Amino acid sequence: MPRKLKITNEQILEAAREAFLQQGFGASTLEIAQRAGISEASIFKRFSTKEELFFAAMGIPEIPPWVNEMESLSGKGNLKENLIYLCHKILEFYSEVMPRIMMVRSRGKDISGFRDTEPPPIRDFKILFTFLEREMNQERLRPCDAKAVAHILIGSLINYVLLKQMSLQVSMATAKLEQETFLNYDDSPTAMYSFVQSLVEILWQGIAPN
C-alpha cells in the first residue's frame, strides 16, 4: 500500500486562511480539516488551540517579495516604469494581507502587537522613502520631499485596497437585505495595473527629473 503523503503545516494554514477569510473566526476546525484533507485531531496535534491556528494563518510576511526586487532596481533602468512595476507589486501585496490585518483586528488584537516588528504600512513607507531618496541623490528624480511622495504612493495603494474591502462588505449587506447580487468591484489584475499606472503618471509630472 502506498504511503499517504504527509500534509505540511503550510497546507493546513492555507486551508485555515481561506476558511477564516470567508467566514471569520467562526469557521470551524472541522471544516478546515476537511478542506486540508486531514482529521480535525491532526490540526490540534500541530496547533494547540483554534486561536493559535487563527493567528498563524493570518500571519504577515516579514519581508514582502517586492522589497528584494526594489533593491535590484535601485539606480537602474527607467525609473517611471520601475515605480509602476513596484507599486503594482505593493498593491498586490496589500490586496493579500489587508484582509488578514482586518481579521486580526476583529479579534481585538492590535496589529502592532501581533508581531515584534513595526506595522507593515509604516515599514513599507520607510522602505519606499529610502528608495526614492536614493534615486533623488542620483538625480533620477527632481529634488522634492521624498517622504511626501512615499506617503502619497503607499497611502493611495492602501486606500485602494480598503475601499475594495468596504465595497465588498456593502455588497454583502445589500445582498442579505435585498436578495440582490453583489455589487461588481473590478479588482482584476488589469484594473489594478491601470490604477497604478494612472497614479504614477499623475505623480510623475511633479517628480520627473529636469
DSSP 134-181: HHHHTTSS-S--HHHHHHHHHHHHHHHHHHHHHHHHHHHHHHHHH-PP
The alpha-helical segments, DSSP class H, found in the chain are: 9-23, 29-36, 40-46, 50-57, 65-73, 79-106, 111-114, 120-137, 146-178, 189-207
Q: Confidence class of residue 189 from pLDDT cuts 50, 70 and 90?
A: confident
Q: If you average pLDDT over every residue of the chain, what do you get?
A: 84
* Positions of CATH 1.10.10.60 in the chain: 9-57
Rounded Cα gap, residues 19 and 40, in angstroms: 14
Closest by CA to 186, choosing from 177, 194, 198, 175, is 194
| Residue whose C-alpha is closest to residue 134's, from 157, 150, 123 | 150
The pLDDT value given to residue 182: 41
Fold of 9-57: Arc Repressor Mutant, subunit A (1.10.10)
Choice between 5 and 123, residue whose per-residue pLDDT is larger? 123
**What would the grid cell of residue 92 be?**
498586490
pTM of this prediction? 0.77
pLDDT digits over 113-129, tens only?
455 567 788 889 999 99
**Residues with Cβ within 8 Å of residue 170, at least 6 apart in sequence:** 183
Q: Is pLDDT above 60 for 181?
A: no
Give the three-class secondary structure for 36. Answer: helix
3-state secondary structure at position 2 = coil
pLDDT tens track for 58-95:
887 778 888 989 989 999 999 999 999 999 999 999 99
72/185 Cα distance (integer angstroms): 34
Q: Are 135 and 141 in contact (CB under 8 A)?
A: yes
More confident residue, 189 or 198: 198
Q: How confident is the model at residue 26 (pLDDT cuts 50, 70, 90)?
A: confident
